[in-house]
């Protein structure tokens, strides 16, 4: 995968340079530093931070583009994420053959980092597959099928992201000619903390892939109740299309057990939920991947739950209550493996 990594870095460098030209004049370091401090606090208290200052958002976009895009790339290429990556590649191939764009639902996705991450990832993989046959484990006859346009719907609480989203959309058309600026759309305000979320659900239902980056723990105070996620999340899990990967990225992993259990509670009884927690990631990248299928898996296999125990313990330490005993009751059995009837953790 070294060729893919080299190409990915080159694409991000090109994108960063072009984006600097559009946003450097509005970016404000002081405002960004203040926003960063608030976001750090939100990881502890879970209180939603307001994104309103244009200077802060411009600097946020410029400073975090590489890291946020690389996180998606690294998660998709992780050894444990093979099934998710293969689903994504099949979705891309299908979109190309159907003469349409790949559809992303980007939850809390301002300023549209997800479209950059996936465009760069897919081009990097297509080139690697064409030059390194061993990389092409899916046996794609036409790697060009992966070079589809991406229609990204950014669903965010803050309308103030509009300028940054527009800049990202414009630069994407320069780096990837197949892309058009109108393929990236911001819908705001929409609130993941609210169960009145028809715009979110409508977008999720049509998506080929759903990405929720750095929105879960930063809204914990509003969405966590009785050791389950509330707001829009139960409906998102219920309506997530079968075969459409859902990727959660965050700065911590405390809520992964609650996330998975909430999803298991609400999915239709005929559906099977697979949860994947990629191992071996950089210390600052935390991911939980969900994938639904119909019926039980062909290889259900028991899985060790030590990671989930660790995550739940971290949540207890943060909350200072009985969270661990409640959550571990969901996941732990004497053999140390998952025994819930319709989901597994890898």
Q: What is the pLDDT at residue 341?
A: 37
Distance CA 193, CA 219 (A): 7
Higher pLDDT residue, 240 or 321? Answer: 240
Tokens standing for residue 57: 């958002």
User: ∠143-118-307 over CA atoms, to 5°?
Assistant: 110
Q: At a CB cut-off of 8 Å and minimum separation 6, what does 325 contact?
A: none
Tokens standing for residue 171: 């630069």
Mean pLDDT of the chain: 86
Q: pLDDT (tens digit, 9 = 90+) per residue, 210-245?
A: 999 999 999 999 999 999 999 999 999 999 999 999
Whose tokens are 């990671």? That residue is 307
Residue 7 has pLDDT above 90, yes or no: yes
Quote the strand ranges of 112-261, DSSP E. Answer: 150-155, 184-187, 209-213, 224-225, 228-229, 246-250
Q: pLDDT (tens digit, 9 = 90+) per residue, 118-145?
A: 999 999 999 988 887 655 555 555 678 8
Distance CA 324, CA 310 (A): 9
pTM of the model: 0.87
DSSP 49: P
User: ∠101-20-70 over CA atoms, to 5°?
Assistant: 55
Phi, psi at residue 225, to the nearest 5°? -150, 130
Within 10 Å of residue 163's Cβ, how many Cβ atoms? 17
Tokens standing for residue 188: 């705001």
Residue 250 has pLDDT above 50, yes or no: yes
Q: Is the dihedral of CA 329, 335, 336, 342 positive or negative?
A: negative
Q: What is the pLDDT at residue 330?
A: 40
Helix H or strand E encompassing 274:
strand 271-276
């Amino acid at each position: 995968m070294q060729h893919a990594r080299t190409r990915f870095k080159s694409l991000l460098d090109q994108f960063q340079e072009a984006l600097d030209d559009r946003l450097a004049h509005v970016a404000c370091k002081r405002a960004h530093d203040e926003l960063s401090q608030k976001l750090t606090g939100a990881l502890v208290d879970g209180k939603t931070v307001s994104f309103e200052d244009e200077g802060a958002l411009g600097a946020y976009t410029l400073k975090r583009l590489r890291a946020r895009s690389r996180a998606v790339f690294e998660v998709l290429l992780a050894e444990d994420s093979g099934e998710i990556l293969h689903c994504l590649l099949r979705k891309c191939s299908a979109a190309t053959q159907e003469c349409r764009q790949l559809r992303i639902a980007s939850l809390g996705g301002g300023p549209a980092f997800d479209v950059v991450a996936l465009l760069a990832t897919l081009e990097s993989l297509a080139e690697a597959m064409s030059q390194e046959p061993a990389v092409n484990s899916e046996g794609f006859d036409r790697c060009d099928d992966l070079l589809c346009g991406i229609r990204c719907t950014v669903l965010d609480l803050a309308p103030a992201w509009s300028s940054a989203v527009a800049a990202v959309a414009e630069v994407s058309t320069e780096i990837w000619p197949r892309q058009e600026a109108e393929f990236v759309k911001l819908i705001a305000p929409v609130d993941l903390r609210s169960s009145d979320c028809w715009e979110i659900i409508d977008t999720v239902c049509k998506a080929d892939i759903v990405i929720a980056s750095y929105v879960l723990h930063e809204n914990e105070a509003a969405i966590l109740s009785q050791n389950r996620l509330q707001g829009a999340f139960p409906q998102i899990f219920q309506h997530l299309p079968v075969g459409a990967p859902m990727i959660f990225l965050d700065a911590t992993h405390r809520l992964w057990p609650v996330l998975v259990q909430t999803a298991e509670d609400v999915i239709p009884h005929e559906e099977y939920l697979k949860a994947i927690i990629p191992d071996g990631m950089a210390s600052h990248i935390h991911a939980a991947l969900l994938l639904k299928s119909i019926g039980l898996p062909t290889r259900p296999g028991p899985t060790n739950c030590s990671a989930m125990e660790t995550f739940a313990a971290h949540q207890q330490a943060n909350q200072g209550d009985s969270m661990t005993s409640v959550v571990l009751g969901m996941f732990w059995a004497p053999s140390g493996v998952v025994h819930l009837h319709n989901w597994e953790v890898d």
